[in-house]
């Protein structure tokens, strides 16, 4: 084996090691990004699981124009619910957060609130 063959083998070996290292760096960045996304998604799901709403009463008033539905609910979960990001569904009809007025009354227990939602139908 000549000197030229040894040099070409060394160059080929260095090239393969360099390409492999670059590949592993790219894969490592991808895995770290996917792991971070998965952790964030698990946190969101955990937060949703810790919510619980108990409907206290529902009143329908058709003597006003337009008709008014008042829903009183208690948040019995450990996660506070952002009422400005919550929609109301009644008989498969979505009442958007922009189509209703919301009154929030403080509860005596920390972290839980009574939500009173007045909706126009």
Percent of the chain with pLDDT over 90: 13
Q: For residue 19, is pLDDT > 70? A: yes
Q: For residue 24, is pLDDT > 80? A: yes
Mean pLDDT, rounded, of the chain: 77
Res 112: pLDDT: 47
Res 104: pLDDT: 63
Q: What is the DSSP string of the chain?
A: --HHHHHHHHHHHHHHHHHHHHHHHHHHHHHHHHHHHHHHHHHHHHHHHT--EEEEEEEEE-SSSS-EEEEEEEE-SSS---GGG--EEETTEEE-TTSEEEEEEE-SSTT-EEEEEEEE-
Q: For residue 114, is pLDDT > 50? A: no
pLDDT tens-digit profile of 53-108?
Answer: 888 888 888 887 777 777 777 777 777 777 777 777 877 888 777 776 666 665 55
Res 57: pLDDT: 82
Q: What's the whole-model pTM score?
A: 0.44
Q: Which two tokens stand for residue 118?
A: 């007045």
């Amino acid at each position: 084996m000549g000197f030229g063959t040894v040099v070409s083998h060394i160059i080929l070996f260095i090239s393969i090691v360099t390409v492999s290292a670059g590949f592993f760096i790219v894969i490592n960045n991808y895995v770290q990004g996917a792991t971070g996304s998965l952790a964030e998604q698990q946190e969101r799901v955990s937060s949703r699981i810790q919510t619980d709403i108990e409907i206290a009463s529902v009143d329908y008033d058709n003597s006003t124009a337009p008709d008014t539905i008042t829903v009183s609910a208690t948040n019995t979960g450990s996660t506070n619910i952002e009422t400005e990001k919550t929609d109301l569904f009644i008989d498969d009809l979505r009442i958007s957060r922009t189509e209703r007025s919301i009154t929030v009354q403080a509860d005596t227990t920390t972290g839980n609130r009574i939500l009173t939602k007045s909706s126009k139908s």
